[in-house]
């Protein structure tokens, strides 16, 4: 789906991808494979399944023009770093990274609409 505004709520278990327009939203979910912490000293605390999961999320964002990343923890930052290294074209379309706990789908859609409306207003795209 090619959409102007897309938001991703992400943690280490799943990513909820919302394609947003003024009236509706379309939500899809990408589940992370079962993960566990690796025990190697150089990877201490790293999630071993993050790369394939992050690649799947990036693929799901393919046609997005502007992407807002949100989530309750560090997964959003890890995903952003993953894009910096593995998908620079998509990384350039990230317009914001925000901390947001666990909203309902409706609350999240409202938050995203408000975020992008403000961003579009500042860019002079809407009155």
Measured in residues, the chain has a length of 127
Instruction: Provide the terminal-to-terminal Cα distance of the chain, rounded to the nearest Å.
Output: 27
Instruction: Give the angle 109-111-113 at the CA atoms, nearest 5°.
Output: 70
103: left (phi over 0), alpha (psi -120 to 50) or beta: beta
Q: How far apart are CA 122 and CA 16, in angstroms?
A: 27
Query: What is the model's pLDDT at position 39?
Result: 53
CA distance 48 to 95: 27
DSSP state of 47: B
pLDDT (tens place) for every residue of the chain, 127 residues total: 445 789 999 999 999 998 877 677 788 899 988 655 555 544 444 555 588 999 999 999 988 889 999 999 899 999 999 999 999 999 999 999 999 988 888 888 888 888 887 665 555 565 5
Q: Which CATH architecture has domain 5-122?
A: 2-Layer Sandwich (3.30)
- Cα dihedral across residues 109, 127, 3, 97: positive or negative: negative
Predicted local confidence at residue 43, as pLDDT: 47
Looking at residue 36, its pLDDT comes to: 54
Q: What is the pLDDT of residue 126?
A: 57
Q: What is the pLDDT of residue 23?
A: 72
Give the residue among 51, 95, 88 at the shortest CA–CA distance from 69.
Answer: 95
């Amino acid at each position: 789906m090619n959409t102007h505004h897309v938001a991703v709520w992400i943690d280490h278990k799943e990513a909820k991808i919302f394609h947003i327009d003024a009236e509706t939203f379309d939500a899809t979910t990408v589940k992370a494979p079962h993960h566990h912490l690796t025990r190697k000293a150089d990877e201490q605390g790293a999630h071993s399944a993050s790369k394939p999961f992050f690649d799947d999320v990036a693929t799901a964002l393919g046609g997005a023009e502007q992407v807002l990343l949100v989530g309750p923890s560090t997964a959003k930052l890890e995903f952003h770093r993953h894009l910096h290294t593995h998908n620079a074209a998509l990384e350039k379309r990230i317009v914001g990274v925000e901390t947001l706990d666990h909203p309902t789908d409706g609350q999240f859609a409202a938050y995203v609409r408000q975020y992008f409306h403000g961003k579009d207003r500042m860019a002079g795209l809407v009155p």
